[in-house]
Structure formats: C-alpha cells, structure tokens
Homo-oligomer: A and B are copies of this chain.
Amino acid sequence: MPGPRWRGNFKERGHRMTGPRDAILDVVNKKQGHLTADDIFFEVRKSYPGIGIATIYRTLDLFVRMGLVNKFDFGGGKSRYEFTSKEKHHHHLVCKNCGRVVDYDSFLDEETELIKKIEAELNRKHDFKIDSHQLDFYGLCKSCQREVK
C-alpha cells in the first residue's frame, strides 16, 4: 500500500523520493511549529547524519512548491517553515521582542468572508490573480511586556 496522501505525489510530479526528502518530511510533520532551516537541519541530522544544509534549503523550497509546507517571514532575518496541515486555516501573532509565534484562528468565518470580498475586489480592480494572503499581528507577549518597559 502506498504512503499516506500527505506525503505528496513526487513521482507524478517528476520528482524522486529520496532518503533526505523522507527524513525532512518526517521532521516538519512531527515537530509542528514555525521552524527555521537550522532547526530542521539539527533535527534531521539525528535520523540522517550526513545531510547537508544545502539539501535542507533545496528540499524545503521543493516542499513549498509542492504545497506540503508553508514558508513565512515574520522578520528577524530567518524564514520559517510550517507543515501544511489539513487542519484549520490560521494566522499568526508575533512577539516583536522575543520572536515567539502563536497560532490563532478566532473569527475565521468573518475573516474568510471579508477576505473573499477583498480578493474579488483586488482581482477586478488591479487585475491580480491572488492565491494567498497573510494576516499577522505584532506586539509583545506576556513575559516580554514587563522586560521591555
């Protein structure tokens, strides 16, 4: 029997399923979160010691193109990767001091409705073909609120 559907359709898309790709996919699947390339590098080395950092970047880029992983940039100079779960669409809350990232999914129905309207309007007015959006909130997390006066 074939692997789970979420493992992607490599063959069908002309890609080979290799050891490094399998190991990286495992890591982003198990370690939920908003991982940096380095986080993933160090974790993958446990199960695939010889892997190189270039392979991490190349593979993450491939996964993003395949829709298996989402890439984010919350500032701070490092890209962050998150497994594209089958779960709820969500957005992010970023602490400007410590970089902590929290998922949230409040008011999704209202948001979805508004987003849909905006997308239609932007499509019409600016002739843009929109395929994604990102709504982030920035501020200070609980512990950073005291530290930073």
Contacts and interface: CB of A to CB of B under 8 A. Distances in A.
A73 B80 CA distance: 13
Interface residues of A, number: 36
A135 B133 contact: yes
Copies in the complex: 2
Interface string A76-115: 0000000000000000010110000010101100110010
Contact of A137 (B73, B75, B104, B128): B128
A131 interface: yes
Contacts of A135: 133-135
Nearest to A108: B118
A113 to B, nearest CB: 9
A114 B107 contact: yes
Interface stretch (A6-14, A34-42, A44-52, A138-146): A138-146
Contacts of A137: 118-119, 122, 128, 130, 132-133
Contact of A141 (B118, B127, B141): B127
Contacts of A106: 118, 121-122, 125
A16 to B, nearest CB: 24
B128 A141 contact: yes
Interface of A: 73, 75, 93, 95-96, 102, 104, 106-107, 110-111, 114, 117-119, 121-122, 125-142, 145
